[in-house]
A and B are shown apart, each in its own frame.
Chain A
């Protein structure tokens, strides 16, 4: 059974730091993996989608990597800003299914 884990559950860093958020999964048979941002009381915003055949995706200060063999994905945020404060969710679509499975998220706080 596929399980998705995000560690740490919460993270607080000073502004300007580069940081890495982790997502691990138990079954490497996936179609894709997606990172989302969720602001308090607000909706989901898709940040980066990595297809199964890809190793990484980049958008601005964000870089997401995927290593299926080790069951890990990381979201790298460069030069963090207070506006990056939010919950970051990792979700993936296992092969042979239509059910997205999500982690519980990492709550990030970037201090000014």
Chain B
């Protein structure tokens, strides 16, 4: 149980376009979802936290207008990278937790974004 999926697993786009990444909890209701980013040879860093039905909370240094997060249902959160640039190329991973189990996060497999 507690499986999180992401789609797509890999995406290549042109500079200036927008890309949407989906994060789904397959067998539980995720009250909170988290988005992390990993640059090459660096550790994963939290970008933002989203609670179902409310606005996302962004970490310091993360542009909320560039990285749009929507958590419209208890099983789906989306991250949209707007006007993507090559420096946005990274590995994006989501995680989710469910009500009553705040001490554990279940991680998706990640999405590798390459912006040309």
Contact = CB atoms under 8 A, between A and B. Distances in A.
Given A44-B93, A98-B49, A98-B102, A104 B41 contact: yes
A53 B48 CA distance: 28
A103 B34 CA distance: 18
B103 A99 contact: no
B43 A93 contact: no
Residue in A4, A41, A43, A51 with the greatest tally of chain B CB atoms within 10 Å? A43
Interface stretch (B70-78, B80-88, B105-113): B105-113
Interface in A86-109: 89, 91, 93, 98-105
Provide the main secondary structure of the chain B interface: strand
Nearest to A4: B43
A51 B103 CA distance: 9
A31 B107 contact: no
B103 A31 contact: yes
A44 B94 CA distance: 10
A75 interface: no
Which interface class (under 10, 10 to 19, 20 to 34, 35 or more) fits B? Answer: 20 to 34
Interface residues of A, number: 23
Provide the main secondary structure of the chain A interface: strand
A98 B34 CA distance: 9
Nearest to A87: B41
B104 A98 contact: no
Interface string A49-77: 10100000000000000000000000000
A60 B43 CA distance: 26
A105 B44 CA distance: 10
Contact of A43 (B43, B93, B105): B93
Nearest to A99: B46
